[in-house]
Structure 1
Amino acid sequence: MYVEVRNNDVNKALRIFKKKLQNEGVLQEYKERQHYVKPSEKRRKDKAAGKARWLKKQEKLANERGY
């Protein structure tokens, strides 16, 4: 990955670099590969995350409708 440093502005180049890493999914993959997660644990975690998203969406819809 390549990031050009312009006008000796290293902080801005670092921010751009971090953004590129995040968009490519490098950091997420690194976190996932730090420890082995059994497939059953991954399914359970994914199911819980989906349920949390669904509940959050339902709550938002209820607030919009005034229930």
Structure 2
Amino acid sequence: MAGIEVREGESFESFMRRFRRACEKAGVLRDYKRHEYYEKPSEKRKRKLIEARRKAWRRRKKENY
């Protein structure tokens, strides 16, 4: 979980903005959605394989530029 402290004189809106950014950076929401339902081991392997393919594709695409 993202640990954010309120700064002195900081408005609630700016605090919430920093908190949301920290949660997004830490991947809290993504992790929550992933654990919302049970994922079978076969589905987990399939998801990881797809993620690895995407990552490799992005890496190759970046190297070509």
TM-score (norm 2): 0.70
Structure 2 distance, partners of 1:31, 1:12, is 25
Residue identity over aligned pairs, in percent, reads 24
Instruction: Give the 4+ runs in structure 1 shifted more than 6 A.
Output: none
Q: Which runs of 5+ in 2 are unaligned?
A: none
Higher Cα radius of gyration: 1
Aligned CA distance change for structure 1 residues 55 and 8 (closer, same or farther; 3 Å): closer
Q: Which has the higher helix share?
A: 1
Task: Give the equivalent residue in structure 2 for 1:28.
Answer: 30
Question: In the TM superposition, what is the alpha-carbon distance from 1:26 to its structure 2 partner?
Answer: 2.5
Q: What's the TM-score once normalised by structure 1's chain length?
A: 0.68
Q: Would you say how many aligned residue pairs link Structure 1 and Structure 2?
A: 63
**Shift of the alpha carbon at 1:10?**
0.9
Q: Shift of residue 8 of structure 1? A: 5.4
Q: For residues 8 and 52 of structure 1, what CA distance do their matches in structure 2 show? A: 40
